[in-house]
A and B are shown apart, each in its own frame.
Chain A
Amino acid sequence: MSDPLEDPDDDWWNSPVNRRESIWLGLAGAWSVGIFAWMAGFTQFGDQNPIGTTYDVDPEQYQERVAEYKEAAEETEDGLVPPGDSVYVGAMRFNWDGLPAVLEAGREYDIHLGAYDVQHGFSVRPEENLNKQINLQVFPGSEWVIPMTFDEPGTYHVVCNEFCGQGHRTMHGRFTVVEG
């Protein structure tokens, strides 16, 4: 029988498989293993991986760390110039604490991401090219340190892309990347 509403024949396991279906199984299997290998391999040879180090931190403590960082940073018209290679961003309803910031192109920074209240989304893109954008989740209780190197100078806009309350849509920040 070949009817999905009736019990199959007793020897259904041994029935031959159509030749083209067998070929398709091979193609689909190879593609499945191939895309796994590419994703896993890209963590080794690729330059864009959402991988960093996470530290548990009390939200108030993280807020203090951001405040200390802001003390140490130089204030300019375009925003804070970080004192070293670490850049702190504190997400809160409905503001990005620590932004705007001024960074140098071609220099690797450790971006510290954390939230003071609820979950937020760290979503960044250069002004003139909206299809270059990245999105990372930000938690209260975690400090996520991700290295980033902005290679092109320009203005990078940060919006929140996790619903964080009524004023969610107004949450906007900025990186100004200048020639290094």
Chain B
Amino acid sequence: MSAITSLFRNDYDADGFRTCSVTGLDVHRSVENHVKLFGLTAVIALAVGGVFAFTVAMTRWEFIGFLDPGSYYTHLSLHAWNLLIFWMVFMEIAILYVGGPMVLGRKLPLRRLASAGWVIMALGAVGVNASILLTEAPNEAPLLTAYVPLPVSPWFYGTAIVFLFGTTIAALPFFATIWFETRGTRRSLPLVAFGAFITGIIAVEAILGGIAAFAYALAWRVDLIAAVEPGIYRQLYWIIGHGSQQINLLAMITVWYFLTHVVGGAVVVSEKVSRTAFVFYLFFINLGAAHHLLVDPGVSAGWRIWNTSYAFYGAAFASMIHAFAIPAGIEAGRRRRGQGGGLFGWLTSAPWGNPVFAATVFSIILFGFLGGITGVVMGQMQVNMTWHNTFAAVGHFHATVVLGTTLAFMGLVFFVIKTMFRRDFVSNTLASAVPYAYAGAMSIVTLMMMYAGILYGVPRRTAEVVRNIPGSEFSFAAAIPIFMIFGIFAVVAIASGALFILVSVGSLLFGDRLPGGDDGGLLPEGGLHADGGQPIHAVELRGTFTLCLVFLAVFIAIYVLNWYLVTQLWSIGA
């Protein structure tokens, strides 16, 4: 117990503030302790979800065939809810508190609401887990989507609503901070606070959709209404189903701006361009949820095309802006310090041994190349016919939320261990190894998922089909070699994830306490703020421009290949 209470102790002045030795921010105890509370809860969800990642992956790897179909869908539901929802959303509330009151140097307002929000969220999370575990026939495991009219326990819908309600409560102190800070002034917030604010608005939209969807299904399950329309439920559900992924995206991008700055010395190359990109997200990104309905009956082609394209790809355009702006920030920051010449010297000389930096940069690169490109491609209405509900779709979202968001959040957890818990890593070597091992193995896993889905048509959400489809001579046996690679690297990836948990928990319990003023080796060479140098807009951003051209070339190649596969199909549609 004392080990746990000591985690929430730091040296604060009489007003409860201290100055962070890395960021220079004035940090109040109330903010810091809530960030720790939500962050630790998130890591617990990560560990729980990670256990089910193992059982699920070892079942899909039919060579092992770990679970019978009955348990498989239960484990898959627990995997999805703990990782995609609880790990992410608890982290995101922590990120809102960092992006709001911590960056702005304020106390956490409405502290009781923050704590109450945590309690309600925790109750909801435990409730969802329990409702999945206790599901009995004729009810089925909900998976992530709980599509009506498949019978799912009403307790599931109820506890999911409780979780969403708690999240809304927990977000209120953040909005109050922004309100107090900007009321009656024409102030422009720092970019990280601005990004967090847009994230918060997107989150509210998503949560309202989620409460509507689950309340609709719950009303039907408890016989308040006689029937449900699957199409209406799907529209409502995907407001949160994909909206929550847009929260992950925006929170991750905000973290990218934050961490590349504090550990990589990045600058903002253009406030105007980066902020405009966030505003594009605000207007357009939630339209994209329609890409889940591209091969549904009853929705017109015009509606599908307009929405899945986020209105002429307004949100994809915004992501491509960040794809340039963030590496450009690192390049400009380091070139101005004279760190690294040539085309890529600024990148090769960067602090790659720092796991916070490595995790962040791998997250940026892998999200873009594997997650972002596939998302836009599979989100085209006709291409979606070949991706929908295949294992490739699972590959896509493991590239976005695992390689992208989870890696970035792992970097953030390491950062918080040093800067807020003020603990040194139990082993620098192991900590540095985590992003390399995890990103490397998980990249191969996601690629194999995509190959299995697109090149072999292997469906998602099934306990066995590759080696055997019961009652049929047909199977997807041609994909067996792909699954051998998938399985082996899934084991490596999950072991790397376990290493992350071990290093994090080990450092919290047994790591040396960092002396006040020690930056824990996090700060970039030359400190956080380098003096002098040429104006940012005049820095030659040759390296970033080259990287972005490579990105565009890969994007075009994958786009053309996918469309080629579509045109090889028999003729379909009016």
Contact = CB atoms under 8 A, between A and B. Distances in A.
Most A CB atoms within 10 A — which of B297, B459, B462, B555?
B297
A142 to B, nearest CB: 4
Interface in B467-484: 469-472, 474, 476, 478-479
Contacts of A165: 140, 150
A123 B459 contact: yes
Contacts of B574: 49, 51-53, 146-147
Contact of B272 (A3, A13, A138, A150): A13
B25 interface: yes
Interface residue SS majority, chain A: mixed
B273 A147 contact: no
Interface string A152-166: 100001011111111
B103 interface: yes
A150 B570 contact: yes
A134 B463 CA distance: 21
Given A2-B269, A146-B572, A169-B470, A36 B309 contact: yes
A150 B570 CA distance: 5
Contacts of B479: 130
A85 interface: no
Contacts of A35: 309, 313, 376, 380, 559
Interface string A125-151: 101001111111111111110111111
Contacts, number: 301
Given A123-B389, A142-B298, A4 B384 contact: no
Contact of A39 (B298, B381, B571): B381
B103 to A, nearest CB: 5
Interface string B563-574: 101111111111
A159 B478 contact: no
Nearest to A142: B297
Given A7-B190, A20-B545, A32-B312, A133 B457 contact: yes
B385 A48 contact: yes
Interface stretch (B116-124, B153-161, B317-325): B317-325
Interface string A62-84: 00000000000000000000000
Given A119-B147, A137-B296, A50 B539 contact: no
B570 A148 contact: yes
B271 A12 contact: yes
Given A12-B188, A35-B380, A137-B296, A163 B461 contact: yes
Contact of B70 (A46, A53, A166): A166
Given A119-B150, A172-B471, A18 B269 contact: yes
Contacts of B381: 39, 43, 49-50
Contact of B258 (A5, A17, A51, A164): A5
A5 B270 contact: no
Given A42-B382, A136-B385, A32 B295 contact: no
Contacts of B470: 169-170
A5 B572 contact: no
A4 B332 CA distance: 14
Given A132-B568, A162-B147, A21 B328 contact: yes
Most A CB atoms within 10 A — which of B269, B271, B539, B540?
B271
A118 interface: yes
A137 B471 CA distance: 23
Contacts of B459: 121, 123, 159-161
A137 B295 contact: yes
Given A28-B317, A130-B455, A135-B390, A4 B191 contact: yes
